[in-house]
Amino acid sequence: MAKTPMKRPAAFQHDRTVGEETWLTPRSLVEALDLPTLADVDPCSPPVRPWPTARQHFTRNDDGFNRAWDPKKFYFVNPPYGRECAGWMAKAAEHGNGLLLVFARTDTRQFHESVWRHEHTSAVLFFEGRLRFATIDGVEIGSAGAPSALVAYGTKAKRALIQAVSKGRIRGRIVLLDDAQRDVFRLGVESGRASKKERPSAD
């Protein structure tokens, strides 16, 4: 009888949940940002965690997504990937005060809407190399299936990224987004639309 091949761990696809598995924000990243001190709230925390990522944690059972988000509080958002991710990205962007950890899918509509185009985005950090996520026991399993990015919303988040990179606690590159850069992006979009209107017809 042929043996059923063993499946490799699913940590290479998601950082939150895959089936019954839970994948956590790497401890090295938590320490580099000093998240327990920096962040007031983690609204999408796993029910079991070997290290804190904020002063207050809300799990799926607490429905952190639909709770009222306090604009005065700093949120660290490492959302479940898949269909839910877009909603969390939009929520974090509208809140405008915190950090969002997601795959660096820079070509997607949601990344453009919640990151590049959003007025609250102050900076984006692209990691050098891929993050290694951990199980609920704190054991690192393997590299993520795609590069990751940390999106800063607001001044406090931008300063936290700059400080972590400048002190060598995180290796990567930061793209700072100010009003002028967002204007350039909007002009590019408008120019593209204008070009389409000005194109001669095929007739």
Q: Is residue 1 part of a domain?
A: no
The pLDDT of residue 82 is: 80
Q: Is residue 5 part of a domain?
A: no
The pLDDT of residue 13 is: 38
Q: Is residue 133 part of a domain?
A: yes
How sure is the predictor about 110, in pLDDT bands with cuts at 50, 70 and 90? very high
Q: Is 146 exposed, middle or buried (0-12, 13-18, 19+ CB in 10 A)?
A: middle
List the structure tokens of 165: 């990179």
Q: Is residue 97 part of a domain?
A: yes
Domain range for 37: 11-196
Q: Is residue 40 part of a domain?
A: yes
How sure is the predictor about 183, in pLDDT bands with cuts at 50, 70 and 90? low
Total domains in the fold of the chain: 1
Q: Is residue 18 part of a domain?
A: yes
The pLDDT of residue 140 is: 75
Query: What CATH code is carried by the domain that includes residue 143?
Result: 3.40.50
The pLDDT of residue 19 is: 42
- Percentage of the chain with pLDDT > 70? 75
Q: Is residue 203 part of a domain?
A: no
Kindly tell me the sign of the dihedral angle through the C-alpha atoms of 12, 60, 156, 169: negative
Q: Is the pLDDT of residue 174 over 50?
A: yes
Q: Are 16 and 81 in contact (CB under 8 A)?
A: yes
Q: Is residue 201 part of a domain?
A: no
Q: Are 22 and 41 in contact (CB under 8 A)?
A: no
The pLDDT of residue 48 is: 83
